[in-house]
Amino acid sequence: MRLSLFLARRIYRDTDGGQQVSRPAVLIAMIGIAIGLAVMIIAVAVVIGFKSEVRNKVIGFGSHIQISNFDAVRSYETHPVVVNDSMIAALSANPQVKHVQRYATKPGMIKTDDAFQGMVLKGVGPEYDMDFFREHLVEGEVPAFSDTVSTNQVLISKEMADKLKLKLGDKIYTYYIQDDIRARRLTVKGIYQTNFSEYDNLFLLTDLYMVNRLNNWQPEQFSGVELQVRDYDRLEEITYAIAADTDNKKDALGGTYYVQSIEQLSPQIFAWLDLLDLNVWVILILMIGVAGFTMISGLLIIIIERTQMIGILKALGANNRTIRKVFLWFSVFLIGKGMLWGNAIGITFCVLQSQFGIFKLDPETYYVDTVPVSVNIWIFLLLNAGTLLASVLMLVGPSFLITKIDPASSMRYE
């Protein structure tokens, strides 16, 4: 081991004329490793960042788990369920549940002097976690919503405000159809922008009390309750555990509870996000293949150039395994240098993009206005380890060329 490592270092540091043939091949091999690793780091960071951004926006509008009425599945014209203090306390006592919040919805329409827009009025109470909407607030403020009185204030999306030519402080007329047409005049108190048009064009947030009165429900009746979990990776497990205790149970007024995770509520979005993983694997395999093959060609050229040295080592008693280790160690040095450049390029791009948002996207298509990146050191370390291991393993086979070199003829090789 020590002899192999010593000789590999001498070859790596050797700068005499004997290396003129292999120097371009070595340079190409290192560039291949650098580009391959940089592309892998950027691809993984972008895909993870994109999935996280889109997932967080979907969760921001619907939380992790929803408990609603079985008869109201996939409809905003909901049937109520009873959500009383004892139920909220029982759900909050679950160690995997981080937060519990009530909600109620009512489909309706906004009408201005020259336009109208269908929408869903979502009522939320004082316990509702508004951090998501504060993060995406562009004008005004998030109202203090109530479950005991109507403030007639509303939080609206910028996309909807632009379509209807609304601005902060404007009075808007909203209409709802049940047994008859009912109207409410609301004041635009805040404007948010998530660039998630599927929901931006749909939801207005207001007081839970108002929506309950529009629905003619009892004080403890709501469209449902939303749960935030502590560990998203265990979402499916937690959903099934809560469903086992809650699903198909009747409330005091005859409603039937039904538990669904956000992935079950929006399957098409999460299926699309899962497809992105396939793209990442294709990129990783292609880049490792490119990097590996450039290293193989470089190693073969180096072995051919060092044929005379190999013959001398064999004549002095070195076995094939020792000589193979020499060139594998030499390859590790080259791979390591290429990986340093690859990391520098990839991580620099990720940091610059996360801080300055240099590369833009069309939010109507991608739901985000800049290319999102996720800087995760552990994933980057895993990519480095995988690249090094895969590249070295790909060189094990070509290194057996050394066993075919005959000492007697190789020492006459020029």
CA 179 to chain centre: 44
How do 153-157 and 81-82 pair as beta strands? unpaired
On the 0-12 / 13-18 / 19+ scale of CB atoms within 10 A, 299 is: buried
For 90-120, how does the pLDDT look when each residue is reduced to its tens digit (9 = 90+)?
Answer: 999 999 999 999 999 999 999 888 888 889 9
pLDDT at 126 over 60: yes
Look at residue 17 and tell me whether its pLDDT is greater than 60: no
More confident call, 310 vs 165? 165
With 0.75 as the threshold, say if the pTM is over it: yes
Q: How confident is the model at residue 72 (pLDDT cuts 50, 70, 90)?
A: low
The phi and psi torsions of 98 (rounded to 5 degrees) equal: -90, -40
**Alpha-carbon Rg for the chain in angstroms:** 31
Domain boundaries, given as residue ranges, for the chain:
2-57+269-410, 80-254
**pLDDT, tens only, 19-45:** 554 677 778 888 888 998 999 999 999
- What average pLDDT does the structure give for the chain? 86
pLDDT per position as a tens digit, 260-290: 999 998 899 899 888 888 888 888 888 888 8
Tokens for 113, please give them.
């002097």
The per-residue pLDDT for range 352-376, each reduced to its tens digit, is 998 888 898 888 778 888 889 988 8
> Confidence class of residue 15 from pLDDT cuts 50, 70 and 90?
very low
- What's residue 208's pLDDT? 95
Indicate the pLDDT class of residue 16, thresholds 50, 70 and 90. very low
403: Cβ–Cβ under 8 A, 6 or more apart, which residues?
320, 324
CB-based contacts of 79, cutoff 8 Å, min separation 6: 69, 71, 72, 255
d(CA 336, CA 352): 24
